[in-house]
Amino acid sequence: MITVQGAIVANKIHAYRKLPKRIWDNYEVVGEIQKSDRIKFVMAAAVRDGVRYVNIREFYCKVSTGEWKPGRDGITIPLMLPIEKGTKRIQPLDAFEILLTSTGNIAQFMDIYNDANAIYRKDDTDEN
């Protein structure tokens, strides 16, 4: 037997479930880079819980509708984060920009194949 109070709570929970989940408080696409016919990278400025981010997400084109949907792969980099109880701040985006440029410069001149630096995936069926 459901009491009136219980029915009201159940209705509120049911109504709450119908609301879409907020992912970003503010989100603006800055640009896109095409990876293939059906995959692109979308770069956006975003804000959540008072923190500003750069969001880079891979999107895919759904074959049945032609609609672009966000994929699972991506990275979100905060512009600045307070640390040590707010007494200091770090700026991950600045460090990321430097590291990205350095990595791109190295990758540009890497050999296509190098057995000394190759990485292999170990299958679960492989023995130790």
Pick the CATH number of 22-78 from 2.40.10, 2.30.30, 3.30.710, 2.30.31: 2.30.31
Arithmetic mean of pLDDT, 59-85: 92
For residue 52, how many other CB atoms are within 10 A of its CB? 14
pLDDT confidence of residue 74: 95
- Better-scored residue on pLDDT, 34 or 88: 34
Instruction: Please tell me the distance from the alpha carbon of residue 75 to that of residue 100, in angstroms, as a whole number.
Output: 13
64: left (phi over 0), alpha (psi -120 to 50) or beta: alpha
Q: Which of 51, 49, 61, 42 is nearest to 91 (CA)?
A: 51
Q: Give the mean pLDDT of the chain.
A: 86
Token duo for residue 67: 């609609």
Q: Is pLDDT at 3 greater than 60 in this prediction?
A: no
Cα–Cα nearest to 42, from 51, 53, 55: 55
Domain ranges of the chain: 22-78, 80-109
- Using pLDDT thresholds of 50, 70 and 90, give the confidence band for residue 35: very high
Give the confidence band of 111 by pLDDT, cuts at 50, 70, 90.
very high
